[in-house]
Structure 1
Amino acid sequence: MSTVKLGVTLFCYGTEYARYQYNFEECVKQAALAGATGYEIVGTQMLPDYPNVSDEFLGLIQKLKAKYGIGPVGYGANNDKGLLPHRNLTDDEMVADTIIDLKTAHKLGCKVMRSQFMLSPEAFQRLAPYAELYDVRIGIEIHNPETPRSPLIQQYLDAIQKTNSKHLGLIPDFGCFAIAPNKAHWMKAIEAGVKEEHLQQAADMRYQGVSLDEARSKLLAQEAHPAIQTALQGMYGFVQFKPKEELPRLLEEFKEILPYSFELHGKFHYLSEDLVEPSIPYKEIIEVLKEANYDGYLICEYEDELYCGGTEFTKRQLKMVQQLLK
């Protein structure tokens, strides 16, 4: 039987937090009300002393844990190579920054830290002894448009296998399994005046492998509303999707990397009252976890493309996953 534990990244409440509707405590409270048993904190978003963490903030976390019953289980690090205006950071500098993140994650009590692939495979490999020292497992996020066994992710897998360290791994983001267009982008385009037939043509061209430039030219020739360009860019960018026929292959790749995945990110962009994510095949993904008896956290992550806030959608997400796990 699968022992999946359900958590929430406080990034889900980023809109409310940015609008000062929620403070940190309210974000934690809402995660608890949604049914989470732990939460991820993104350092750059909610740590007042980032990249460090103060004793005062640690005290607040303990106070809220006693009050709401949940605490931080994951830390979202920030691997930004573009901190300097005249050059990218070197691998040495990236490693040094990530060690600071490891210290912060350790002080927060997090056993998992999520990193991005701006941290090169070579730099990632060098972090193994530091991750072991602080007893924090570092996972490279597999984010759309990457897939579980794409060439770049294979380089990280090779690095993990070379170190033979149990403290280096992968964190698949479920957005990489998308098999339909982003519902939120679609809705925003319709609201802006784009005809649905033009959006469908754009999606069909993406399925068929038509290049972005050619798709853009064809839509311009049909005098599609200019707002379609934003949706089109998304279809070819960070919210790519693949034909449904490719899903079995993607799920097989997912099974192969699950032994190296000590945390999962349940990305979702939209959930109606019927508890179905229109673009990400949750039913099939959860079946893989159940069959594999996956033991770890599934951190629900809402990306608020509609800028409506994540409170209700996050509740729906956890309810959907709970039902699928049963």
Structure 2
Amino acid sequence: MIDAYTLDASATRHDDHGLIAWSIRLRLPWFRALPVSCIERAAVLVDGQAVADRDLLFRLDGQHRPLSDLHAMPTRYWSVDETLQIGVRGESLVPRAEAAVTVELTLRLPDSGGNGGDWSRRVACGAVRVSDPGHAPWPLGVCTFSLGAELRRGRSLRSCLQRIAAIGGYTGLELLGAQVVEGYPAPERRWLDRFARELHATGLEPVCYDAFLDPGRTTVAARDDAAIMALAEAELDIAAALGCSHVRLNVPPRRPLLDHLAVAAEQRDLTVLSELHAQTSADPGVEALLEHLNAMRSPHLGLILDLSCVMRALPPGFVRHMMAAGLPADAVRHIAESWSAGLPPPALPSATATAFAQRAYRLFHRSDTGWLPDVLPFTRIVHGKFFDMDGGREPSIPYGQVLTMLKRTRFDGYLMSEYEGHLWDGSPDTFAQLRGHQRMISELSNV
């Protein structure tokens, strides 16, 4: 007799023109005790019509794989928090919203029933109705910093922007000046005009221009306000020529300097935003900036909130990168445990390990989300930072909490996807990463 186990299931359509048109997420409490090869067969029916086996792909370790790949992994076991995700190819049967989906898994399990064998077969079943992915309540854009790996592979910027537009759902761009502007920091006006036309042709709005004060110009940092403003105004001119409405520009939080900056921004119909990156409202510099913004109430000044400020774990890809670089497992564990405990960077035996620890503490800020109400009233753009899309979620940042807070405070600015996993692993497809991030934002913001 075959026993039937109940699968906890959910199914979602993905309207992003990617490889996967829709997917099913499944849980069984005892998956964690089994190898992934325990799934002998999967059957999926939509309103009673079977989906072809060849169109079913199983997501594992960030990749979609045919079932035969799982059969070849006898030593790979389900982890405690792992969810089985079955993706269905875009060219297959795409269900309507609210269609009835039935899933049946034939499983090869250890026999604990005294049937005389080591293994037995069981069938686990689940039924669910398909939900639409919904849409995020904010306009979505992409930071061009996300494109680092694609540009290093030789893909042109124009091609990258066309691919972003083809994803659908993204309407804006944040342009990193030193990355995308030819002749930076003093581009020719003719080039700026041509690039502005190319941006317009993509259908994507140039929302924000990321400016710099010193890099690319001088090895000596500008100290006095007059020197800072001379550099800042040159950057504001580039942003205005490209048709941007916002400029990311971090300056010292001095009131006279901010007054001058607000006037220069108003003259060009721009809003200048200071970015909070690996900082919180308790940082002395941020405290001073918030005091000035609150006193000035200028519509031409504000903040960019980068979600590296509220990380709960080191990115798994960065941890793998440390291991691949040859750091001993004890050193990697010491760095991760010290960071997670909120302790200072640990003392380590080698210069290489020390450098990795310093990088981890510089890039990733461990914090909860309790301080965000201090800065959200001044926030115009949120950097949706992400490093790894694992099973459709970013494991290092509490996106559910952040998005709930954005809705509660009626945030109405852009949420910019900013993929940074390419800093240590250039192999993933950037555009697949962006599709996954956009899908996660849509799903979590419609919970």
Interval of TM-score (by shorter of Structure 1 and Structure 2): 0.7 to 0.9
Match of 2:286 among 133, 137, 153: 153
The answer to whether 1:291 aligns with 2:408 is: yes
CA contact (8 A) 1:3 1:296 kept: no
Query: Structure 1 pair 85/257, CA: closer, same or farther in 2 (3 Å)?
Result: closer
Query: Secondary structure at the residue paired with 1:31?
Result: helix
Q: Distance in 1 between matches of 2:176 and 2:150?
A: 15
Query: Secondary structure at the residue paired with 2:139?
Result: strand
Q: Percent identity?
A: 27
Match of 1:121 among 254, 264, 271: 254
Q: How does 1:65-214 map to 2 (within 5 A)?
A: 65-66=200-201, 68-80=202-214, 83-85=217-219, 88-117=222-251, 119-122=252-255, 123-144=257-278, 146-196=279-329, 198-212=331-345
- Letter of the aligned partner of 2:248 in structure 1? R
Instruction: Quote the offset at 1:293 in angstroms.
Output: 2.1
Instruction: Write out per-residue CA displacement over residues 121-163 of structure 1, whole angstroms, 9 at most, x where no aligned residue.
Output: 342342011111111111100001x114422111111222332
User: How many residues matched?
Assistant: 306
- Letter of the aligned partner of 1:22 in structure 2? R
CA contact (8 A) 2:182 2:191 kept: no
Q: Which residue of 1 aligns with 2:436?
A: 316
Instruction: Quote the offset at 1:269 in angstroms.
Output: 1.7
Q: Distance in 2 between matches of 1:182 and 1:61?
A: 35
Q: Which residue of 2 aligns with 1:258?
A: 376
CA contact (8 A) 1:41 1:76 kept: yes
Q: Distance in 2 between matches of 1:163 and 1:280?
A: 32
CA contact (8 A) 1:178 1:241 kept: yes
Q: Distance in 1 between matches of 2:292 and 2:188?
A: 30
Q: Which residue of 2 aligns with 1:62?
A: 197
Q: Which residue of 2 aligns with 1:38?
A: 172
Instruction: Write out per-residue CA displacement over residues 63-105 of structure 1, whole angstroms, 9 at most, x where no aligned residue.
Output: 4433x32131111111227943456443211111111211221
Instruction: Write out per-residue CA displacement over residues 28-53 of structure 1, whole angstroms, 9 at most, x where no aligned residue.
Output: 11221333111111111111133346
Q: Distance in 2 between matches of 1:288 and 1:320?
A: 16
Q: Distance in 2 between matches of 1:45 and 1:33?
A: 22
- Letter of the aligned partner of 1:33 in structure 2? A
Q: Distance in 1 between matches of 2:222 and 2:247?
A: 23
CA contact (8 A) 1:186 1:231 kept: no
Structure 1, gaps ≥5 residues long = none
Instruction: Quote the offset at 1:296 in angstroms.
Output: 0.9
CA contact (8 A) 2:304 2:382 kept: yes
Match of 1:267 among 385, 397, 401: 385
Query: Secondary structure at the residue paired with 1:293?
Result: coil
Q: Which residue of 1 aligns with 2:62?
A: none
Instruction: Write out per-residue CA displacement over residues 155-176 of structure 1, whole angstroms, 9 at most, x where no aligned residue.
Output: 1112223322111011110000
Instruction: Quote the offset at 1:205 in angstroms.
Output: 2.2
Q: Distance in 2 between matches of 1:86 and 1:6?
A: 37
CA contact (8 A) 2:222 2:228 kept: no
Q: Distance in 2 between matches of 1:30 and 1:288?
A: 31
CA contact (8 A) 2:400 2:445 kept: no
What's the TM-score, normalizing by structure 1?
0.84
Q: Distance in 2 between matches of 1:318 and 1:32?
A: 13
Structure ranking higher on relative contact order (CA contacts 8 Å, 6+ apart): 1
Query: Secondary structure at the residue paired with 1:4?
Result: coil
More strand by share: 2
Query: Secondary structure at the residue paired with 1:58?
Result: helix
Query: Secondary structure at the residue paired with 1:187?
Result: helix
Query: Secondary structure at the residue paired with 2:298?
Result: coil
Structure 2, gaps ≥5 residues long = 1-134
Query: Secondary structure at the residue paired with 2:155?
Result: coil
Q: Distance in 2 between matches of 1:255 and 1:281?
A: 16
Moved over 6 A (4+): none
Q: Distance in 1 between matches of 2:374 and 2:220?
A: 40
CA contact (8 A) 1:235 1:241 kept: no
Instruction: Quote the offset at 1:270 in angstroms.
Output: 1.8
Query: Structure 1 pair 83/192, CA: closer, same or farther in 2 (3 Å)?
Result: same
Query: Structure 1 pair 163/307, CA: closer, same or farther in 2 (3 Å)?
Result: same
Q: Which residue of 2 aligns with 1:307?
A: 426
- Tell which deviates more after alignment, 125-134 or 146-155: 146-155
Query: Structure 1 pair 159/63, CA: closer, same or farther in 2 (3 Å)?
Result: same
More helix by share: 1
Instruction: Quote the offset at 1:255 in angstroms.
Output: 1.9
Instruction: Quote the offset at 1:120 in angstroms.
Output: 4.2
Q: Distance in 2 between matches of 1:143 and 1:60?
A: 29
CA contact (8 A) 2:142 2:172 kept: yes
Query: Secondary structure at the residue paired with 1:75?
Result: strand
Q: Distance in 1 between matches of 2:203 and 2:401?
A: 31
Query: Secondary structure at the residue paired with 1:323?
Result: helix
